[in-house]
């Protein structure tokens, strides 16, 4: 059985905004019966061009229905410019996370939204140069590139979870691998270090991420001032550290901890992190 | 919450008689059947008794029964153990709708350089016997065709297949995991050389199985170890589970009649009522050649996992051949091999009954299923389109 969050279950059992908006300003249809899931999103704008109404109809599994329901709740009241920026990760986060194998449901939501906005603007969804990479599910190189970029994907399996590409006959796996390799290189060039994602972390992921962040963002700066920091323990959102070297008797160590260490950890690990110092 | 368990092709409840038979062999009689002392000897006697019960159930000789750890091990041992005995023959034949325990062995063999042939089925899930005849070659080492399909319950004409196979002198294995206990099996009158069986589909616990090996069949052990099971399967016997399985075989023989009368009637009742109450529903598989306990139905324009979770919310436990339930992206290989259209393949639900099910439970399902399907169709974008298309005609 899938490990769905309570929020996913709630949005599946009591979906919000089911149906079709009357005289819609934009409609976005993605997926198909053959693919196993499909979503029809319809939106209505008010005079200020904000989304007044958003409704959906979905054929698919529990997470597809929950993602659609979440999407409509998220975008209500947004301007189109704001709505355009909604990512699949926002949808997954709204639901408290989705099993990785089901992330394609959130991607479907984002695609339907893009299509509906384009439909309102009277554009065809950008059909510039693309190549169908996965013939089984009709996934283009552009779709795959976007999913890799927005979700920091690294393996073919992950690409399949997020886009379905490669989930059928598997013949396109070498092509997907090549796209991943190219995108990873591009992404590293664009934004070193990689922007961490703030999905719900397991304890092990959290500790690893704290260690990485300390090592990359904090230790070099402290060392430059003749100090250092050690991670002692992590208990839920509390991070216990010990200041070493010059930092340990620095009068502004309290400031260093709160303003510098804690804010970096909040930025890169989790918003609710509280740093406490362990005195030797 | 009330639990209505109709997923017996996945696993079954351990019969109370089976559990009772097993319990003393955990703590009181824990001897090793291979030991020389009386303490092991009394356990060996009990294991032999279980072997006799299993043999009696299958119409076999006790010496033809090998206890294994599960149905998958039985399938693996049968196939790899036979191929190992015919190293010069490099061709394997099976069907396109096998359980993963055989299907994935077939792809494994193909990666190892074997030629493999997977025989097709038609829209009703029936095996193409002509294709089978044509694919038999001099280099064919083994033919493995399942007895009954786990998803649809469709029965293959195993003795007819056996006749074809025998005329070419090739060993014949059948995965009988779903058939055992639901249709009569008599190895004395059968053309089958090797048959796999799983305990937990038969009201014994998970973790024990049987491989029947006809006397005179060439076989190399798959589990290499001690002299247990007459050297055909190494490893200390899983005594309590084997004793439980022996008891389960005895019970299965006794309940075979009920499976084919009362359980069949319940299944047919469920089927007729569902078809009557839910439009755009189709039954998957040959209704005339099917296990008495299995019903695979497809509800068009809705997806299986959603149905299952809404059923589960009411305590009804079934399963689905939809893509989403397995974590793969494509619907079940069985339904695809049968050519079930996508409108229906994603919305397939399997109900599989046992002797523990009652008419009241069927009525409970019949009461709650139609509103669930309607609710999901109301959410589905395709249902309204479909209704519109019907209106235009």
Q: Cα–Cα distance between B94 and B174 in angstroms, integer?
A: 10
CATH architecture of B4-10+255-373: Alpha-Beta Complex (3.90)
Q: Cα–Cα distance between B296 and B304 in angstroms, integer?
A: 12
Asked whether residue A192 carries a pLDDT value surpassing 60, the answer given is yes
- pLDDT of A226: 80
Percent of chain B with pLDDT over 70: 98
Q: Which of B309, B322, B328 is opposite residue A12, by nearest beta carbon?
A: B309
Q: Which fold has domain B16-252?
A: 3.40.640
The tens digit of pLDDT for each residue in A56-112 reads 999 999 999 999 999 999 999 999 999 999 999 999 999 999 998 899 999 999 999
pLDDT, averaged across chain B: 95
Asked whether residue A193 carries a pLDDT value surpassing 90, the answer given is no
Within chain A, which residue ranges are assigned CATH 3.30.300.130?
203-277
The tens digit of pLDDT for each residue in B304-349 reads 999 999 999 999 999 987 766 655 667 889 999 999 988 888 999 9
Q: Do A36 and B303 count as a contact with CB atoms less than 8 A apart?
A: yes
CB B97 within 8 A of CB B129: no
Q: How far apart are the first and last CA of chain B?
A: 45
Q: Cα–Cα distance between B237 and A210 in angstroms, integer?
A: 49
Within chain A, which residue ranges are assigned CATH 1.10.10.1100?
132-190
The tens digit of pLDDT for each residue in B196-251 reads 999 999 999 999 999 999 999 999 999 999 999 999 999 999 999 999 999 999 99
Q: Which fold has domain A203-277?
A: GMP Synthetase; Chain A, domain 3 (3.30.300)
Q: Are strands B115-119 and B209-213 parallel, antiparallel or unpaired?
A: unpaired
A34 touching B, CB under 8 A? yes
Q: State the greatest distance between any 2 C-alpha atoms of chain B, in Å, as a whole number.
A: 83
- ipTM summary value: 0.87
* Residue B86 CB-density burial (10 A; 0-12 exposed, 13-18 middle, 19+ buried): middle
E strands, chain B, are 4-5, 65-68, 91-95, 115-119, 140-144, 172-175, 194-198, 209-213, 281-283, 294-299, 316-317, 319-320, 348-352
What's the DSSP call for residue A21?
-
**Helix and strand counts by DSSP (H, E) for chain B:** 15, 13
Percent of chain A with pLDDT over 70: 94
Contacts of B163 (CB under 8 A, 6+ apart): B191
pLDDT average, residue stretch A266-276: 87
Q: Tokens at residue A65, please?
A: 């229905």
Sheet containing A51-59: order of strands: A26-32, A37-45, A51-59
pLDDT, averaged across chain A: 87
Query: For residues A138 and A72, which has the higher predicted lDDT (pLDDT)?
Result: A72
* Residue closest to B86 by CA, chosen among B62, B63, B109, B69: B109
* Residue closest to B284 by CA, chosen among B328, B354, B331: B331
Q: Do A59 and B309 count as a contact with CB atoms less than 8 A apart?
A: no
Q: Which fold has domain A132-190?
A: Arc Repressor Mutant, subunit A (1.10.10)
Q: Tokens at residue A73, please?
A: 């709740």
A138 touching B, CB under 8 A? no
- pLDDT of B327: 59
Question: In whole angstroms, what separates CA B280 from the centre of its chain?
Answer: 28
Q: Are strands A37-45 and A51-59 parallel, antiparallel or unpaired?
A: antiparallel
Half-sphere exposure of A273 (CA within 13 A, CB side): 29
**Any idea where the domains of chain B sit in the sequence?**
4-10+255-373, 16-252
Residues of B labelled catalytic: 324
Q: Cα–Cα distance between A75 and A41 in angstroms, integer?
A: 11
Within chain A, which residue ranges are assigned CATH 3.90.1010.10?
6-120
From the first residue on, what is the mean pLDDT of each consecutive set of 10 residues in chain B (393 residues)? 94 98 97 95 97 98 98 97 96 97 95 96 97 96 97 97 94 98 96 98 98 96 92 96 98 95 97 97 96 96 94 95 66 91 90 97 98 96 89 61
Q: Please give the CATH number for the structural domain made up of A6-120.
A: 3.90.1010.10
Q: Do A59 and B301 count as a contact with CB atoms less than 8 A apart?
A: yes
- The alpha carbons of chain A give a radius of gyration, in whole angstroms, of 22
Query: For residues A247 and A179, which has the higher predicted lDDT (pLDDT)?
Result: A179
* A37: chain B residues, CB-CB within 8 Å: 303, 324
- pLDDT of A127: 53
Q: Do A136 and B330 count as a contact with CB atoms less than 8 A apart?
A: yes
Q: What is the pTM of this model?
A: 0.81
- Tell whether omega for the bond before A193 is within 30 degrees of 0, i.e. cis: yes
**Helix, strand, or coil (residue B380):** coil
């Amino acid at each position: 059985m899938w490990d769905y969050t309570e929020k996913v279950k709630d949005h599946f059992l009591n979906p919000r905004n089911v149906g079709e908006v009357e005289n819609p300003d934009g409609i976005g249809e993605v997926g198909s019966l053959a693919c196993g899931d499909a979503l029809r999103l319809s939106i209505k704008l008010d005079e200020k061009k904000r989304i007044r109404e958003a409704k959906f109809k979905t054929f698919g599994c529990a997470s597809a229905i929950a993602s659609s329901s979440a999407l409509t709740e998220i975008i209500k009241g947004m301007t189109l410019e704001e709505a355009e920026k909604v990512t699949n990760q926002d949808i997954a986060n709204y639901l408290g996370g989705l099993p990785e194998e089901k992330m394609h449901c959130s991607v479907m939501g984002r695609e339907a939204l893009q299509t509906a906005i384009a439909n309102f603007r009277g554009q065809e969804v950008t059909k510039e140069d693309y190549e169908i990479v996965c013939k089984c599910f009709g996934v283009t190189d552009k779709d795959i590139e976007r999913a890799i970029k927005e979700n920091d994907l690294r393996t073919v399996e992950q690409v399949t979870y997020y886009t379905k590409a490669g989930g059928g006959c598997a013949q396109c796996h070498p092509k997907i691998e090549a796209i991943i390799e190219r995108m990873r290189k591009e992404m590293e060039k664009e934004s070193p270090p990689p922007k961490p994602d703030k999905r719900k972390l397991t304890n092990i992921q959290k500790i690893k991420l704290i260690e990485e962040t300390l090592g990359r963002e904090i230790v070099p700066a402290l060392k430059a001032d003749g100090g250092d920091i050690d991670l002692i323990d992590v208990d839920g959102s509390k991070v216990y550290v010990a200041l070493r070297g010059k930092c340990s008797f620095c009068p502004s160590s309290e400031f260093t901890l709160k303003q510098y260490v804690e804010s970096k950890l909040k930025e890169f690990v989790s918003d609710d992190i509280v740093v406490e110092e362990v005195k030797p | 919450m009330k639990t209505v368990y109709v997923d017996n092709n996945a696993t079954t409840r351990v019969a109370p008689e089976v559990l009772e038979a097993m319990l003393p062999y955990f703590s009181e009689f824990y001897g090793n059947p291979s030991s020389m002392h009386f303490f092991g000897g009394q356990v060996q006697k009990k294991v032999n008794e279980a072997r006799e019960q299993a043999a009696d159930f299958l119409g076999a000789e006790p010496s033809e029964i090998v206890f294994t750890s599960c149905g998958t091990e039985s399938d693996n041992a049968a196939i790899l153990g036979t191929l190992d005995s015919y190293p010069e023959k490099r061709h394997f034949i099976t069907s396109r709708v096998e359980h993963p325990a055989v299907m994935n062995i077939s792809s494994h063999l193909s990666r190892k350089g074997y030629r493999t042939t997977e025989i097709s089925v038609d829209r009703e899930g029936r095996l193409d016997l002509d294709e089978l005849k044509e694919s038999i070659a001099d280099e064919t080492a083994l033919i493995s065709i399942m007895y009954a399909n786990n998803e649809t319950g469709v029965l293959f004409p195993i003795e007819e297949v056996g006749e074809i196979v025998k005329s070419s002198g090739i060993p014949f294995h059948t995965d009988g995991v779903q058939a055992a206990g639901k249709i009569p099996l008599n190895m004395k009158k059968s053309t089958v050389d090797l048959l796999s069986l799983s305990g937990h589909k038969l009201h014994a616990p998970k973790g024990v199985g049987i491989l029947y090996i006809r006397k005179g069949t060439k076989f190399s052990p798959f589990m290499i170890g001690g002299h247990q099971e007459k050297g055909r399967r190494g490893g200390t016997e899983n005594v309590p589970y084997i004793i439980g399985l022996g008891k389960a075989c005895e019970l299965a023989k006794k309940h075979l009649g009920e499976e084919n009368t009362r359980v069949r009637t319940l299944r047919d009742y469920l089927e007729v009522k569902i078809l009557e109450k839910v439009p755009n529903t189709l039954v998957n598989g040959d209704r005339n050649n099917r296990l008495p306990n299995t019903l695979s139905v497809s509800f068009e324009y809705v997806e299986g996992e959603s149905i299952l979770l809404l059923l589960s919310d009411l305590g009804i436990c079934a399963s689905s051949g939809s893509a989403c339930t397995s974590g793969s992206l494509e619907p079940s290989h069985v339904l695809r091999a049968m050519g079930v259209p996508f409108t229906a393949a994603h919305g397939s639900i399997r109900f599989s009954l046992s002797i523990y099910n009652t008419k009241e439970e069927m009525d409970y399902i019949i009461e709650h299923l139609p509103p669930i399907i309607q609710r999901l169709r109301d959410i589905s974008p395709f249902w309204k389109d479909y209704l519109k298309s019907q209106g235009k005609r």
